[in-house]
A and B are shown apart, each in its own frame.
Chain A
Amino acid sequence: MSVVITGIGAVTPAGTGIDPLWDSARAGIPQVAAIDRFDASGYATSAAGQADFDAGAELPSRFVKRTDRFTHLSVHAVRQALADARVTVGEEVPAERTGVMVGNILGGWEFAERELRHLWTEGPRAVSPYQATAWFPAAPQGNICIEQGIKGPARTFVAERASGAYALIGGAEALLRDRADVVIAGGVEAPLSPYGWLCMETSGLGAKSRGSLGPHELYRPFDAGHGGSVFGEGAVFLVMERREHAERRGARILGELAGWGVSTDGYMPYYTVEPTGQVLGRAMRTATERAGIRGGDIGAVFAHGSGVPFEDVTEGYALHEAFGSATARQLPVTAPKSGFGHLLGAAAPADAALALRAMRDGVLPPTVNLDHRAPGIDLDLVAGQARPAAGCEHTLVVSRGLGGVNACLLLRR
């Protein structure tokens, strides 16, 4: 029994839909820019991947008013994903047999900040009663279910930057356990509010602005000048089904989620990661073995590529741990997210969507801003421009987060 992907929806800094995201990534076009959503001049990082999405133009005004931007991005991306899969809940699939899995980290701070300001300046009666339901990380999940009339299993995964990968795994497991016939799984993040951005800054994971680099040059995975991530907002959702269900309804199959592996570092200090890469390597190996393949069968690795020096180096160690150094050195490794920003809860779903396109088109998008390899990175990095990969049948997507949360996905063409 296998799990396949039959639809993709995306709202990202590259635009709306998977096509602009793929085109931008393949060409290595930087989408990161100076923040104009709010005054970020006092922040250490004043660059981000911002989505040009006008909720008021796409969604009913009363819905927009009572929900946060992360719900807006999610609901719109899910609409696209279902349309792409040619699924209408209640028609091609019963509402009770449709599920939703969402990865998110921060919650909806744009809404919450506005209402907290009302609380402190005008008192409790000035706070929107929707504060209670707008901010928390499960809000997109609930609103997606309401909007689409979904009545099956629904869950939200909060596992730091691995949240979106956990959501895809949760979707696959729900399908394999026959809890649903269709699952919409993905992730979302909308960190571009003054407080949300401050949280990202105090995490210590963000790249600090430097006078010598433009905003679009700050995010530098595996590069000698790496100094952390530049984050972005977005939502990416995949429609997943058991293969026989997809084939029975004549769906177009975009690829298969053939394996996955999770592990937790359990390492102190918890804000960093286990230094040898052994624990992350175990998640990589588990994902590969579950798919019934060997490390040498992997055609590409979509690395987590946070640009945090210690994480970049240990990600390389993990690939060597998982597959042996001789194999690890031969795997093409890329981190195209440096072009559009680390989308946090949506990062792994974005990588999975790009990996499916890369295998279909036989070309690997480059890691943007990788000019001079950092010391200690012994990998075959895809840099500069896209690389042909005609025979790429399997892609490993690596995702990890604070506290040593590791989640790896193995996608098959």
Chain B
Amino acid sequence: MDIRENVVAVMRGAGFESEELTEDRRLAEDLDIDSTELVEVVVALEQHFGVSIDADAEGGFRTFGDLVDCVRRLLSAGVTAVGS
């Protein structure tokens, strides 16, 4: 499974375009994602990948790459929560 492509697919479902999703794009400043939309994205990622992401850790996400890294880390480690 290409994790990055799957994250892109999830975010496309939330209304984003593939072209705007590059690793260094900042979630707030570049992608205009507010805290509410971040909740939506994180829940969609949880459901898609079958993982659990600690809500307290979400504030640490700054770029699209951070989201991909988080999912990759959770899947490879087999853990169910970031920051736990």
Interface residues of A (CB under 8 A from B): 60-62, 65-66, 125, 128-130, 132-133
Contacts and interface: CB of A to CB of B under 8 A. Distances in A.
Main secondary structure of the interface of A (DSSP, over half): helix
Nearest to A131: B36
Contacts of A66: 36-37
A19 B40 CA distance: 40
A108 to B, nearest CB: 15
A125 B45 CA distance: 12
19 contacts: A60-B15, A61-B15, A62-B14, A65-B14, A65-B15, A66-B36, A125-B43, A125-B46, A125-B47, A129-B36, A129-B37, A129-B39, A129-B40, A129-B43, A130-B36, A130-B37, A130-B40, A132-B36, A133-B36
Given A60-B15, A66-B36, A128-B40, 20 more contacts: A61-B15, A62-B14, A62-B15, A62-B16, A62-B37, A65-B14, A65-B15, A66-B37, A125-B43, A125-B46, A125-B47, A129-B36, A129-B37, A129-B39, A129-B40, A130-B36, A130-B37, A130-B40, A132-B36, A133-B36
Contacts of B47: 125
A61 B32 CA distance: 13
B55 to A, nearest CB: 11
A61 B16 CA distance: 9
Interface of B: 14-16, 36-37, 39-40, 43, 46-47
Contacts of A60: 15
Contacts of B36: 66, 129-130, 132-133
Nearest to B41: A129
Nearest to B35: A129
A62 B46 CA distance: 20
Contacts of A129: 36-37, 39-40, 43
Nearest to B13: A65
Q: Tell which of A61, A66, A125, A129 has the most Cβ of chain B within 10 Å.
A: A129
A129 B37 CA distance: 7
A133 B34 CA distance: 13
Contacts of A130: 36-37, 40
A60 B20 CA distance: 15
Contacts of B43: 125, 129
Nearest to B43: A125
A62 B40 CA distance: 12
A75 B15 CA distance: 19
Q: Which 8 A-B pairs have the closest CB atoms?
A: A62-B15, A129-B39, A61-B15, A129-B36, A129-B40, A65-B15, A125-B43, A130-B36
Contacts of A125: 43, 46-47
Nearest to B40: A129
Contacts of A65: 14-15
A65 B46 CA distance: 19
A262 B37 CA distance: 41
A122 to B, nearest CB: 9
B34 to A, nearest CB: 9
A128 B14 CA distance: 11
Contacts of A133: 36
Nearest to A60: B15
B61 to A, nearest CB: 15
Nearest to B38: A129
Nearest to A125: B43
